[in-house]
A and B are shown apart, each in its own frame.
Chain A
Amino acid sequence: MLHVRSWPTAILHLDGDAFFASVVQAVHPELKDKPVVTGKERGIATAISYEAKKYGIHRAMTMWEIKKRCPQCIIIDSDYQLYHLFSQKMFAILRSFSPVVEEYSIDEGFADIKGLRQPFHMSYEQIGKEIRDSVEKSLGISVSVGVSLTKSLAKLASSSNKPHGLIVVNGRDIERLLARSPIQTVWGIGENTRALLKKYNVDTALDFVKKQEEWVTQKLSKPFVEIWHELRGEMIYALSTEAKTTYQSISDTQTYRPTREYDVWWSRILFHIEAAFKKARKFNYQVGRIYIFLKTQEFTYYGTEVKFSPKISHPALVKDEVKKYFNQIYKKNILYRSAGCTISDLEDRQIIQESLFDIGDFKKEKLLKVYPLYDAGKINFGTSLFDQREVQKPKEKRLVIPLLSV
C-alpha cells in the first residue's frame, strides 16, 4: 500500500532503558540484576529498574506500597548530578557518530544518520548496533535503538523492543512495524485520541495510516495529520539540534566545599532556585512546584517540595514561603556538601494570566522591575551574603568521571 523507497532518510532513536535506575546500577555494580527503586528522598518512586518493574512497581508509587509489594527491593536516593553526567556522556558518544543530534530529554535522543554508511563501511543496522553497544559498554547502562525513516517511526521502533533492543525498519518494512504497533504506542497519541480512533475501528498504527489524508484532516487536528505523514515515512519533524526548549522539569545543583552554615546554604538554595527560574523564564514557563534539597557529606538527601497555585515565574516573591520549607530540611551541626532544586509542573506563560500580583503592591512591582535586569545579566542575586566566586558555576568545561562504588 505504501510505496516508499528503502532509505530516503535515516533517523536513529536512542532511548535509555529505565535510565535513572540503570545509571545507579552502573556505578553500584552490586545492584545489577536486583530490584532497585530511586526516589527515597521524596518518598515516591522516580525510577524503577526492570527487575523491580516485574513486581508491578510503577512511577510515583509510595515507598510504603513498594515495600509491601517487594520487600527485598533496594530503595535509594536520586542523584540528579549523576544522571546528568551519564546523559552528557551518552550524547557525546552519539555525537561521535553523527554531528546532527537532538537531545530530546535526559535519557533519549535522535540522530540523523543518513549518508553514514559509506564513511563507516557499515549498514544502518550495523551503525545502530555499534551505537547501542558503544553506549552500553562505555557506560555500563542498557539502551535501546530504533532506526527508520522519520523520528516517529524510529521512536516506535526503539520502544517496540525494550530493553537492549535494536529494531531497524526501512521503507519497505514500515507496514509490518505499523501492523504490530497498537495506536496508543505511537508518539503523540494519547488516551483521548486512542478512544476516538477506536470508534472508527483504528486499533493499530497501520489502521491509522490506511485512512485517507482527507479523513484524518476532518477528524483530527494538525499534529495528528503530521503524525500520519511521519508514520508513512515522510519526514515532517526535523531534528532540533539547538539547546532544548521544552522541559518537564529544570534542575540546578552544585557541590561545594562542605560546611554547616545556615546562611550559606539558604543563599545557595536561593541561588539555585533563581538560576532554574531564569531558565524557565527564558522558555516562557511558569512554575507550579519547587523541590529543594541538601545533600550531606554522607550522601544522604534532605529535600522537600513546595507547591504554588497559581503558578509563578519570579521566585523572590515567594522567598519567605520557601524559607519555611528550607527550615524544615536544614539541621544544625550537619555537614552538607551540595544544594540544589528541581522545578516542575511547568506551563507556558501565555496560557496563564499573571494573577499573582495585586496592582499597587509596591514591593512586588519593584521586584518585577529588577528581574529583567537579572535576566539580561546586569545584576546577580546572592552577592551580598558570601563570595560570588564560590557560587558561580565554573565556566571552564571540566572533565568529570563517575566513581564506581563496589
Chain B
Amino acid sequence: MTYKACFPTGEEDEVDIVSLESYLISDPHSSFLYKVKDSSLRGIGIFKNDLVIVDKKKSPSTGDIILVRIEDEGTLKIFKKQRSVIILGSSHPDYPNLYLQQEEFHILGIVTTIIRKV
C-alpha cells in the first residue's frame, strides 16, 4: 500500500513557492499559445478549447504531442517514428492514425503544457 497522496515524495515536496510562468513555460522565447480545435486527443485528456503551450524550438521524438499543420488546418497529434515512417496518432475513435509523407504535414511545435480552467 502506498500513501503517495499523504506523503509526497520526490520533486514535489521541494516545491515551496512556485512561479506559474517558470513552471509552465520552459523557454519563453520559443513558446506560443494554441487553442485546441478538435477532440482528437480526448482519450489522453486534451479537450476541445483547452489552451496548450507549444514550443517551436524543440524537435519531436516518439511519444511527444505535437501541433501540426495538415492542409492549412492545425491539429494536435501524437508523434511516433518507426524507422523511416512517421505516424501521427490520435486518441479518439473518430480520428484514425495518419501515415503521412514528410511533405504532407508541417510540425509547428511540441506541446509542453496543457491549461484548462475548471
Binding site for B on A (CB under 8 A): 27, 29-30, 32, 89, 92-93, 96, 134, 137-140, 399, 401-406
Contacts and interface: CB of A to CB of B under 8 A. Distances in A.
Contact of A401 (B32, B35, B72, B108): B32
A401 B53 contact: yes
B30 A138 contact: yes
B16 interface: no
Contact of A406 (B25, B53, B108): B108
Contacts of B106: 29, 32
B64 interface: no
B14 interface: no
Interface of B: 21, 25, 27-35, 53-54, 56-57, 67, 69, 72-74, 106, 108-109
B32 A403 contact: yes
Given A29-B108, A30-B69, A137-B56, A406 B30 contact: no
**Prevailing SS type, chain B contact patch:** strand
Given A29-B74, A403-B32, A138 B56 contact: yes
Contacts, number: 60
A27 B35 CA distance: 12
A358 to B, nearest CB: 53
Contacts of B69: 29-30, 406
A342 B35 CA distance: 31
Contact of B29 (A92, A403, A405, A406): A92
B25 A399 contact: yes
A96 B29 CA distance: 11
19 contacts: A27-B32, A29-B74, A29-B106, A30-B69, A30-B72, A89-B28, A138-B57, A139-B56, A140-B56, A140-B108, A401-B28, A403-B32, A403-B33, A404-B32, A404-B54, A405-B74, A406-B67, A406-B72, A406-B108
A140 B109 CA distance: 10
Nearest to A406: B74
Contacts of A92: 29
Nearest to B21: A399
A93 B34 CA distance: 22
B29 A404 contact: no
Given A29-B74, A404-B67, A137 B33 contact: no
A94 B9 CA distance: 39
Given A89-B29, A138-B56, A406-B69, 16 more contacts: A29-B106, A29-B108, A89-B28, A138-B29, A401-B28, A401-B31, A401-B32, A401-B33, A402-B32, A402-B33, A404-B67, A404-B108, A404-B109, A406-B67, A406-B72, A406-B74
A403 B35 contact: yes
Contacts of B32: 27, 401-404
Nearest to B58: A137
Contact of B25 (A89, A401, A405): A401
Contacts of A403: 32-35
Contacts of B72: 30, 406
Contacts of A140: 56, 108
Nearest to B52: A404
Contacts of B56: 137-140
Nearest to A402: B32
Contacts of A406: 34, 67, 69, 72-74, 108
A401 to B, nearest CB: 5
Contacts of B33: 401-404
A404 B34 contact: yes
Most chain B CB inside 10 Å of its own CB: which residue of A32, A402, A406: A406
B27 A138 contact: yes
Nearest to A398: B21
B74 A399 contact: no
A161 to B, nearest CB: 24
B74 A404 contact: yes
A273 B30 CA distance: 32
A405 B108 CA distance: 11
B25 A139 contact: no
A402 B74 CA distance: 16
Most chain A CB inside 10 Å of its own CB: which residue of B21, B28, B35, B54: B28
Most chain A CB inside 10 Å of its own CB: which residue of B30, B35, B67, B106: B30
Nearest to B20: A399
Contacts of B57: 134, 137-138
B52 to A, nearest CB: 10
A247 B109 CA distance: 35
